[in-house]
Structure 1
Amino acid sequence: MSLTVTPLPTAPGAPDPEAGLGALTTERGNLPLHKLEVDTRVTGLTARTEIVQGFHNPHAEPIEATYIFPLPDRAAVTAMRMTADGRTVEAELKERQEARDTYDAAIAQGQRASIAEAERADVFTMRVGNILPGERVSISLSLTGPLLNEDGEATLRIPLVVAPRYIPGTPLPGPQAGDGTAPDTDAVPDASRITPPVLLPGFPNPVSLRIETVIDPAGLPLTTARSSLHTVTRAENPDGTVALSVRPGERVDRDFILRLAYGEPATVGTALAAEPDRDGEGGTFQLTIVPPAMTAPSRPRDVVVLLDRSGSMSGWKIVAARRASARIIDTLTGADRFAVRCFDHEVESPDRLPAGLAEATDRNRFRAVEYLARADARGGTVLLDPLREAAALLAPGPETGERDRVLILVTDGQVGNEDQILAELAAGLAGVRVHVVGIDQAVNAGFLNRLALTGRGRCELVESEDRLDEATARIHRRISSPVVTGIAWTAEGFTPDPGSLTPGRVPDLFEGAPVVVSGRYHGVLPATARLTLTGTTVTGEAWTAAPTATVATSAAETAGPPPLATSWARARLRDLEDRYATGTGDLTGLEQRIVELSLRHSVLCRFTAFVAVDTRVVTDGGTPRTVVQPVELPAGWEAATPAMPMMPVAMSMPQAAAPDFLSGYGSPPPAPAGGPSGMLFRAESRRGRHAPVPPAPAAPGGFGGGGPVFGAPPPAQQMPAAPDPTPVAPPLAYDPWTGARALLAEELAALASVPADTPEHTRRDLLSDLASRLRALLIGHPADETHRALTGLTEALAACDGPTPPRGEELTALWSRTLQVLTTQAAPTAAPSGPAPPPPPAPQPTARRAFWKRGS
């Protein structure tokens, strides 16, 4: 096989005058991370990766090394090993609090230990404790995951650096959860765990990076490979595999992206794969649905384009973002309506266009593109406000009719309050298709993929201006109407578990974008097992496919974790974690389900952790010095500006007292004038320290936003007001559902206005979207009769997303029940529900906070 390897164009970045290998030496010592090795074997459309992190201790006392690092958001972390002094310890996966207790106890007893914890889908923390002076410790992580496959091209993406993120909210009292540079806030309770310190530009390369990839096409017609790093073909082997390696000297400052062209998109067809469990009493199936080769005529659309112009988008990224947004607007037709918003810590719109949706005339589109051309990068990334405004612009109404509602977000996604955003917008964006264009060489892909998945859309990642044309062409196809909708399926010859499906609802099919649905089945799978798929094409014709199951090697015969079961478990855990972040009801029960699933399949999640403990005692115990590994400034990011200061690392100090923009950019406060500067080095851990709460900021400033402008005088101290002697009337009785009933009345009016001849698949979509909004509405309300009635309705509406959705009379009955429940619950109650509850007590600092749990 002859394979052409083409380096992907990279965005311009600062020159590296002192590139090299090995550890960085300064007057304060060496950094703990000295090497990073990534070995991947790609087989068809599946990747297995081994990542080795090498730590060392150049100091005269034992240390604990802390490293905040990224991993692919779609990959499952299935194993961890610690090697030191000729001894290798296999890590155990435990419930997270239990794992943390195990680690702390081992360190206190003088044992060598390590722990890996998941902070986000793609952000992790590694702690390696009691590393002896002069000692080297290696941590190995095993990953398994699918490649993204669209338009005949499979993509392997290995992120290498966690970029600085904007951290909104008010700092929390009490100990900080981690050792990062930003204080924990009410909007981001674990901010100190996702904000590693950042190296100043121009430092010699502190980490030796080695990346090697072996590609086994597994029968697919592989033609070319494109790499985001300088890659060379090491060997084309007799067995048909190809080995690629990254040129030595590359810095750990951007994602490694390998794009594999597998011929025409039609090469891979709709298929059903099955993998029996080790006991043979069940297994995992994976359904890949390939859209039919047809171009969908575009229906009238309402489109909102949001352009991120925050400080982190400076340089080539804002240029690419402007071009991408302008090209999307250029593709609109006269039948469409649109709106454009640019945002940082403020939301702005073109002054020559209507405040709402504008007709997509040539003049209006020209004005929008002209406005976008003037957008420059500034301020902080307040993402929630523009998304709220977009949801309001795209809210359903009588005038929307059969129009597609589409939101397109162009951003790098560098925010820390991902859960807050998804929880608040899950209901408001129901029925809106959300597409995301992620622009960065170290993009927050985990969040952007979650946002697109929630909105039943697609996420396109752009790591350079040269890939922009390709990405915008794909987005143009995605914002057209789907080619197949209303997909349902029937199993023949085997029994799938309907509650195990991921995603829970089969997405619509778009041109060139295959859909993968996986789940669990019961019993033995016969050779005749198959799934029959049905749907409706954009032209109104019936569509069907009936793939027969291909049984893969059973888990009992597989070396290592079974790939289908592992990939399903990771995807299912991601679904459940998103439900935990955005849902209501029995969160404790949901947490238990997540932990059980994680432990059963040995896949790391936010509620579990891998912990390795060497039984040998190597120190006298106590608390070792904590050294936090600084990370590179991502490639393509601009260095220090007055609005976005880059600071040399100083000794650890409370960050909340500094201007808030520092928490967003990820840099600690500057060293005192005339004091030492150099690498980012933390002499003591922040865990257990209390962050002082600064006065409320008057206006956002700098990259992080939400704080005073750097250099401005501090706000005047306010004296407490004298108590008001006026007697306070007793609280009035109130109905806790008053505001919600008004919303229920709006939902009732919207459903009642639906024409009687509306197709069944459209009715099911409307009921499914209503269920999403009801789930959000239930949050924070008492478990009374209204809550029980709406919960029962929400559970019934969930059937619209199942493999056998209601049809005919069953759908009519569900529609009638929905109208009846909404009519009853939208009406004001005859009697008040009781006195208003007292305000919650002020939170008290705790010695330890389960920051990974909601409400902790």
Structure 2
Amino acid sequence: MNCGLLTNKNEPVPLKNIEVELQVQGHVATVTSTLKYLNEEDNPLEAVFVFPMPSGAALCQFSAKIADQEIVAEVQEKQEAREQYDDAVSSGEQAFLLEESEESVDVFRLSVGSLPPRQSASVTFIYIIELSVQADHSLQFCLPAVLNPRYTPAGTGGGIVSEITSSSTGIPYSLSFTAHISSPNPITKVESKCPLEPLMFLNTDHTKAKVSLNAGHMFDRDVELYLHYQNPHQLTAIVEAGAPAAQPGTLMGDPVVMVSFYPEFPESVMSSMSSCGEFVFVMDRSGSMSCRMHNGPGAQERIACARDTLLLLLKSLPMDCYFNIYGFGSRYNSFFPQSVQYSQDTMEQAVQKVKEMQADMGGTEILPALEHIYKQPCVLNHPRQLFIFTDGEVGNTKDVLRCVKSNADFHRCFSFGIGEGASSALITGLAENSSGHAQFITGTDRMQAKVMQSLRYALQPAVTDITEDWSGLSFNRLSPQIKSLFHGQRALIYAQLKGEECQNPDAKGKISVRYRLADQEVTNTVDFSLKPAENNGMAIHRLGARSLIRSLERDEQVDGADKEALKARVVDLSKQSGVSSSHTAFIAVHKGSKEAVKGPLVKRRIPTPMMLHGFGVKSRGMQLQARSRSSRKSLPTKLTRCSKKKSMPKCPDAQVFKMCSRIQAFQCLSEAVSVETSETPKDPLMQLISLQKASGCWEIESTLAEVFGKTEKELIKQIPAQVKPDVWATLLALIWLHGFKIDAQVEWQFLAMKAVAWIRSQKGQVRHVSQCYHGGRNIKAYQKMQTSHQQ
């Protein structure tokens, strides 16, 4: 499929080259992207591009070059910029207009006015972004690659449209990518799924390094970097000097400090779990959920993967909680009129309805469903936790986030972006506006693993009551107050430093961050020099400005706010810092000879023949040929590696847990469990999960025996004396999980905890099980079985 700029003969205007320079300082990155085109038409073009950007990014510079003439854009109030652009184009002047989409903060529209025939053109844009923390404490940078079409609810006007295709062959342009990395702590390694040149350290203490992407990138995947630093939980602070040309006392004229706060969770906290909560699962059932998770072999449909995930969640919930499940599309429905108490009966009802779920509810209108949920009374002493699953194809993002924010005191939201191109503005905004957590599931990522990680967050204590002591420093805070952090989350605090002490190059600063974690008071302190770091393009200033601008924009959405005053302040901050906002745009005009360009001005509207499932309507629009994606993803290998290294939550009974650990070492009851065979179900793990009862136990039945490669009679025959059949079945399930599915432990950990807790509740059975373990040990038989399984 042709995409990008096309001629009137449907021939593409060639994109020749993409150059990306990455400057990393600690936890933030400055990204400079240059895209080079050539207009081979005989007519001038006016083109409109739509391209995504990570929602947390601060777009801070844009320039264009026509032939040898460079035009640098300025930030202006949006309407003024549009009028100036129209005037320039109508006068025959070359002009560029770059503005944030009305529908979503992570999509930008670039209008290129009057590109002369047979001329080359290049556009350069610079943005700054915070790097996300991964499960193994590394920092991730993702160069965006794909943006999906987004459904726009009826009556909301035009939507955001773009291409979704990617190809591994025939790419007519190249990519060069280089990253320069500096950090207060030593850099230990840099990883990527893409082939990299060897990491080059630039100093002896390994705090500066350089790495490049190998030539020949095929644009078949995102360019991801994973940066590893020493002492990741250490509180750090970096001070950046103000711009020499800026007036002292202004944001850009004063120093700005960035503090990285990444609290460490002790093992004792990691193993404590709550049994309370109202869990509301909100599932996207729009037509686009029938798309596959990825383009590789064996990919599930999104809705099928969602069904498996809901099944796993239902089996993993604690016995004392409440739950409900909603589906939404052009309409919404719920499994129960209100949240119900978790029991074997309600779980079975829900499981049956989950099996019947299809992507058959039309468009993607999440707002009515959320408004209905928020009107339902909360369950006393059961904190409400929303788990929202969507492929992110929604056009009214700002309305949705406004609704979530207004109900933030009554719930937390755990959001999941499914598939390539889920809107980072929507997914991260849902979590940020409710003190929750966001996940993106793309490529071959397993949805179950990431969802169970979030369930763990929902059941574990979080860092709360966070306060800061700046030890007498005078400052203006630029970032919002931190309300809570889950395990694995990090916060960056930005503040504009004031006062005469900042002028003294020998002056020192100090900040202490105090917080509560599982009824314990903790304090982290860092001393830092007020002498500013070397000039790095004002990255910290601009991220601080972006944080303040976003806070003011959210305040505009509150009923009764002085919207005009807030808008004026946003425009002032945006123009002062050069950071884009919802009320400003980048405008660049080349005031040359002012001679009108000869020939007709050709506007291009490029077809994107991707059917919106359930509608039969084709999206139409323009797409920047440098395909980019707003979603993020973690390396599956990293999740697996983390699950092995990091200890899982401990079982409630030390004796049974110790036994399970020995099972993991292949030393228990080997003759009772057989290997997976070709006759077992295609996904025996999901089969085993589906058979577990709400209490946590399994029962002897033929389907369970099939998972073990046995018959029901064989299992019954092997039940030891004084051990109940359901205890025996539950023990065998634990053995099988530890023996064959240890790599998926992050997915079934809660099922195993419930199973062990149930065994413990059976009077006298723990002692019999322990005796059974010691009497039935057969290492040679189990090793033989293990060998057979590996073959």
Q: TM-score, normalised by structure 2?
A: 0.68
Deviations 1:760-807, CA, capped at 9 Å, x for gaps: xxxxxxxxxxxxxxxxxxxxxxxxxxxxxxxxxxxxxxxxxxxxxxxx
Q: 1:417 aligns with which of 373, 385, 396?
A: 396
Partner of 1:232: 195
Name the structure with the higher helix share: 2
Partner of 2:337: 355
Amino acid of the residue matched to residue 327 of structure 2? C
SS class of match (1:548): strand
Structure 1 spans left out of the alignment, 5+ residues:
1-17, 171-184, 634-638, 646-661, 669-678, 682-856
Aligned CA distance change for structure 1 residues 501 and 481 (closer, same or farther; 3 Å): farther
The 1-side partners of 2:386 and 2:27 are apart by: 30
Aligned CA distance change for structure 1 residues 596 and 112 (closer, same or farther; 3 Å): same
The 1-side partners of 2:164 and 2:310 are apart by: 32
Partner of 2:116: 132
Deviations 1:8-55, CA, capped at 9 Å, x for gaps: xxxxxxxxxx99x99878843334756544332334322121112333
Deviations 1:509-531, CA, capped at 9 Å, x for gaps: 21121222222231234744222
Aligned CA distance change for structure 1 residues 245 and 367 (closer, same or farther; 3 Å): farther
| Residue pair 1:531, 1:546 contacting (<8 A) in 2 also | yes
Aligned CA distance change for structure 1 residues 629 and 208 (closer, same or farther; 3 Å): farther
The 1-side partners of 2:304 and 2:443 are apart by: 10
Q: Does 1:568 align with 2:552?
A: no
The 1-side partners of 2:551 and 2:407 are apart by: 19
Amino acid of the residue matched to residue 321 of structure 2? D
Amino acid of the residue matched to residue 218 of structure 2? E
The 2-side partners of 1:388 and 1:479 are apart by: 22
Between the aligned residues of both structures, percent identity stands at 22
RMSD: 3.3
SS class of match (1:320): helix
Partner of 2:578: 602
SS class of match (1:164): coil
| Residue pair 1:269, 1:290 contacting (<8 A) in 2 also | yes
Q: Does 1:99 align with 2:81?
A: yes
The 2-side partners of 1:23 and 1:34 are apart by: 12
Partner of 2:363: 380
Amino acid of the residue matched to residue 125 of structure 1? R
Q: 2:93 aligns with which of 87, 108, 111?
A: 111
The 2-side partners of 1:345 and 1:47 are apart by: 39
Aligned CA distance change for structure 1 residues 122 and 213 (closer, same or farther; 3 Å): farther
Q: 1:153 aligns with which of 107, 131, 138?
A: 138
Tell me how many residue pairs correspond in the alignment: 590
The 2-side partners of 1:208 and 1:376 are apart by: 40
Q: 1:405 aligns with which of 384, 389, 398?
A: 384
The 1-side partners of 2:314 and 2:196 are apart by: 40
Per-residue deviation at 1:307? 0.9
Partner of 1:288: 260
Q: Which moved more, 1:480-489 or 1:24-33?
A: 24-33
SS class of match (1:30): coil
Q: Does 1:79 align with 2:61?
A: yes
Aligned CA distance change for structure 1 residues 28 and 267 (closer, same or farther; 3 Å): closer
Q: How does 1:134-533 map to 2 (within 5 A)?
A: 134-151=118-135, 152-170=137-155, 185=156, 188=157, 191=158, 194-196=160-162, 198=163, 208-214=173-179, 216=181, 218=183, 219-223=185-189, 225-227=191-193, 231-239=194-202, 241-245=209-213, 248=216, 250-251=218-219, 256=222, 258-260=224-226, 262=228, 267-278=232-243, 282-294=254-266, 295=269, 297-299=272-274, 300-314=276-290, 315-316=292-293, 317-350=302-335, 354-378=336-360, 379-393=362-376, 395-396=377-378, 399-401=379-381, 403-497=382-476, 500-503=477-480, 505-523=481-499, 524-525=501-502, 527-533=507-513
Aligned CA distance change for structure 1 residues 569 and 552 (closer, same or farther; 3 Å): farther
| Residue pair 1:48, 1:145 contacting (<8 A) in 2 also | yes
SS class of match (2:523): strand
Amino acid of the residue matched to residue 348 of structure 1? N
The 1-side partners of 2:304 and 2:195 are apart by: 30
Partner of 1:762: none
Deviations 1:324-380, CA, capped at 9 Å, x for gaps: 333333332012111111222222333xxx421122234433443443233222311
Q: Which moved more, 1:524-533 or 1:599-608?
A: 524-533
Aligned CA distance change for structure 1 residues 477 and 586 (closer, same or farther; 3 Å): same
The 2-side partners of 1:490 and 1:200 are apart by: 50
Deviations 1:47-84, CA, capped at 9 Å, x for gaps: 12111233332322211111011122222112111111
Amino acid of the residue matched to residue 45 of structure 1? H
SS class of match (1:267): coil
SS class of match (1:547): strand
Aligned CA distance change for structure 1 residues 324 and 519 (closer, same or farther; 3 Å): farther
Per-residue deviation at 1:431? 2.3
| Residue pair 1:292, 1:483 contacting (<8 A) in 2 also | no
Q: Does 1:643 align with 2:625?
A: no
| Residue pair 1:150, 1:514 contacting (<8 A) in 2 also | no
The 2-side partners of 1:50 and 1:298 are apart by: 44
| Residue pair 1:390, 1:407 contacting (<8 A) in 2 also | no
SS class of match (1:233): coil
